[in-house]
Each structure stands twice: as structure tokens, then as C-alpha cells.
Structure 1
Amino acid sequence: MPPPRLPAERAVPATDPDQGNQQSWSRQAASSMSRFPSVQRGTSVFSTVECGRAPSLRPRAPEASMEGVIDEVTRPSVETDDLQQMSEGRDGGGTPRKSPLEPEIWFRAIVSRKPPVEESWKPNGKFSDKTLAELKKELPFNFDDGDVVGLKFTLKSHEGMRIVETIDHNNRHDLQHLKRVFGERIREAMKESIGGDRGPITFDMEIETVKCSRARTIGREESLAPLLW
């Protein structure tokens, strides 16, 4: 009778510390791969494992593109186009737009008629904004003279318009009325100038004092009293 066979012994693999560590890192990487599907095999994860360093699983940031930035810089905006049209005097349709006309007024102060003494005068600021006190302070007249009872304004244009207004130099309401009347006449003349496309219109304004002779029996207040008509 043949002798009984003993069961074959299982081969026990030799224990290699380095190989065990490498297999442990591989299992950790595979486990991490299951949590981060975007990381694929063959990437830098396994190369870092071979070097003995812990793998970096931070997703890479997308590369910046300058295409959109360049488009925003080079694309003209609506605000820029509007400012350019305003600076060039064009409306939205590209038609040249006329600038509003401003009256050109030359002032002259008549200091004396006999002998004739005149001088050019320019108000500090706009004449339409002047108060009566400011006007008397700037004009080259002596309002302390007892004979001065008023001011005479003559507005003329080169087209033949002529308007004369006399006011009491102590009544501010008279000055407001004068500015309103002159403003209406200037506005009407400018409308006619714009309609005929004749360009800016020029006005001349003469200002002089109104004096009352001491020999006259009529009083100053009566001479400038408003008429009821």
C-alpha cells in the first residue's frame, strides 16, 4: 500500500515592508478616486504616490481667458456714444445740432449829454440777475446828486428795433418790469433771427440818468408818478 500523501502547503508570500507600504498607498489612492470621480488614472496622483508623498486631490482652476475682457474693453458703450454726439453737436440720428443762441449785448453809460461824455460799461455777471442796489453801485453815476430822479434805458438792435424805458432809481419794481419787457423783446428778435438763419443778433443798451431841474416847480415824485390810462 502506498504511503498517504500529505496536503500541499500553501505558499506564503514573503513580507516586503516597502511593497506593503506601496500597496497601502495604492489602496488609499483608489479609495480617494472613488470619492473624486473627476480624478482619473494616469494623472499626477499616482506619480506622487511613487515619490512617497501624499497625493494632492485639489481640482485645478480653469485657465483664465482674456477673450471676454478684450471684448468688454473694445466694445463701445452707449454712454460713450452719447457723450461723443454731445461734444460734436449731433443728435441721435447723426444730424448736426444747432447750439442755443445767446444775445450779445453791448452796454454804454451816458455820463453827460452836454458835453457828450460816454463810456463802455459791463455788469459783473448777468444784467438780468442784477438788483437795483447792485446796479446803482456798479454804474459810473453820482446818485447823491439831488437832481437825479431816475434812469433811462435805451435798447437798440442792428435790425432797427428801439425800445426806451425810464424807471425810478429808488423803485426796485420798476427795474423788474424793465427787465421783463426787454427780455420779451430780445426773445422775439432772437426767434426771428433763428427762423431766418441769420446767426446771433447783437443789441446795444444805453444807460443814462434822468435829472429834474431845480427851477421846475413840479416835484420829483410827481414827475415819475405812474399814469392811469
Structure 2
Amino acid sequence: MPMKPYEFDRRYGELDQVVSAHIGQNAEVVDGNGDADGRAPSHALQAYLRHTWHTRPWALAIAEQQLREYARFPPGRLRLRLGEFYSVPDVGLPESRTQDWLLQLADQVRHSVDSSEVPMPSVPRTHWEWQARFPELAQFLGGWFSQDMVDEFPDHEAAVSHYEATTDGALVARLVGEVAELLALNLEETDYVLGLAELGLEVDPPAPLSAGVWLESVMGRLGRPGPKYGPSPTGG
């Protein structure tokens, strides 16, 4: 979703992605050999780098520039209160540490680019990464299979039918692709359950199906070509 006001997208859009990836996670760096200072990226930054390298690699340079610019010229409290600048969300660090932390993030993003260290694809490790990697699946589960499902639909099949009937076909196809990608991870059943919860599922799959088997059934159902309407090419 675009940031508001619109100007924030241009100045802070990628900065917001990096910081948002750390919400609810440990923002501090961990020991290792991740940069010249011997500090490896946090798990949250690793998730951001992994996803961005494989989807929008050009955005890494923008992230580094926005992180560094904000850290070097932080806005005063009055301008933040007036809404003239982006306010960095609370990631569990004291305010006195935020400026140095943003510079560390910028250094680590730059190191990743300069070294061409592209993280290998893996199972998402954070809530942000689950949501970023499977956005349409998150929309499907969070919108049709929240705890309110039992009040809106008689069963899971009815909810799937409603999604199919009210969603653009291109988005339905995208959902099918995301489910196929998730199943290709070959997770254990408990990991599917945890992953679907991160994506917004708040009800159990229909008995007696496991989470993985239910995903397969949804993919099979929505992946079937629908009926074609209108005149045939021959005019019949």
C-alpha cells in the first residue's frame, strides 16, 4: 500500500519496508561475519534481504540511500508531531540508539550489494517475510478464513466459492501460484500450521484434512479452468 502522504513514498518508502521487517523481531545485530565490523544482519534484516534480492533487487540501493539519509538528518520532534516527516516505528530500541541502528542497517545492505551475497531461498522466518512472500494467500486467508468465517459462511467450501466469485481471475491465478510455491517448500505439518497462522488463518482446516492437504485441495479447486461464456470464435 502507498504511504500517506504521497511524498513519503518517494522519501521513505523503502526505509519503511526495512524498518517494518523488524517490528516484533530482535532489531539488534547478531554475532558473525556479516560486514567489516564482524556483525551479521539480524534475522529480520536477513528476511528483508532474502525477499528483496529475489523480487526487487534494484530496491536495495534505494533502501541504503534512504536509511543513510534519515540517520544523518533525523527530524526534530516538532516536525514529527506535525506530520512533516516519517516517524520510525517502535522496534524495541531506545531512541538514542535509533540513529546508529539505521546506519548499521545501511552498511549491511550496502555490504550485501557490494559482495553480491544473494541469500538462498528458504522458508520465511518472520511475520513480515511470510506476508511479503505470499501477499494474495494472506489476503485470502485473512479475508475469508478469519475467526468470523463461521458467522459468514456455512463451511470452508462456501468461503472458497465466495472468494472465487468475487475476486479478479488474475488474482485467483496468483493465489494458486503462491499456494504451489508454499507447497513446494515441503514443510512438516506443524510448520504449515504456523505459516498459515502468520498469513491470517484463524480457523482449523475442514476435518479430516490436514493444513497441507487442504491447501492442495484449494489449489486444485481454484486452478481448474472456469467455463467460457459468450460467442465462440466461429460465431456459434
Shorter-chain TM-score above 0.5: no
Question: TM-score under structure 1 normalisation?
Answer: 0.18
Query: In terms of Rg, which structure is larger?
Result: 1
Flag the structure with higher helix content.
Answer: 2
The alignment's TM-score, normalised by the length of structure 2, stands at: 0.18
Whichever structure has more strand as a proportion of its residues is: 1
